Amino acid sequence: MPGTDLQDNPEAQVALQKLLEGSIQCIEFSGDQVLIDQPRAGLAYLAGSFNPLHNGHRDMLAAALQQLGWERERGCYELSVGNPDKGVLPAEEVLRRVQQFTVQHLPIVVTHALLYTQKAHLFANSAFVVGYDTAIRLVAQRYYNDDEAEMLSELKGMRSRSCQVLVAGRVDKDGTFRTLKDIELSPALQRLDLFHGISEEVFRSDVSSTQLREQTS
């Protein structure tokens, strides 16, 4: 599988079509295998749009594994075909983004899990590695029907599945490096012990996918 053109791979295209139709939950491209509906628990998952994949993604996942004390083999990337703000990606675009990983021998799982609370149902006992901006959205009530009680219930569900969220800092538009400490968490959220910061000493990358796209456009 690595090094091949997924656009010409019938197995990958059929599996992806089933995912888009909702008849399967996830596809993992790992090594020379296409694994269908075999979600792996106990890994560190870095989710993203990966448009494009860049060193910041790789370094963030490596930093999270270092902080967790986990081996490199327990790291994986995750791409959702849908986004609560941007809609669903076309099949051709998903294949293009996945191929960035297969040619570099990096494992990636493709899901239809738009929200992290949904990802936790697939990947129990796992760590989700996110940036500051994503962490802000994770505790934004608008993604939970503007209902604080619903948000707490969903995040408690993640914790009950032995999941955790590792948050890497990011430079904001004003040039300030923002971390988990800059996110206002209610006492109830703090008691969940769900969110943990990745220190700036372990990881800091000021590159963004948006900047890279602008440079190559």
Give the burial string for 113-150 (b: 16+ CB within 10 Å, else e): bbbbbebbebbeebbbbbbbebbbebbeeebbeeeeee
Tell me the pTM: 0.90
In tens, the pLDDT along 62-72 reads 999 999 999 99
Dist CA 135 CA 181 (whole Å): 11
Q: Can you give the residue ranges of every domain in the chain?
A: 6-216
pLDDT at 75 over 90: yes
pLDDT for 4: 54
pLDDT for 11: 84
Top-confidence residue, 210 or 193 = 193
Top-confidence residue, 206 or 184 = 184
DSSP tag of 73: G
Which of 17-21, 82-86, 146-150 has the lowest average pLDDT? 82-86
Q: At what angle do helices 91-102 and 10-21 cross, to 10 degrees?
A: 130
pLDDT at 44 over 90: yes
CATH second-level architecture of 6-216?
3-Layer(aba) Sandwich (3.40)
pLDDT for 62: 96
In tens, the pLDDT along 152-191 reads 999 999 999 999 999 999 999 899 999 999 999 999 999 9
pLDDT for 211: 54
pLDDT for 213: 41
pLDDT at 210 over 80: no
pLDDT at 216 over 60: no
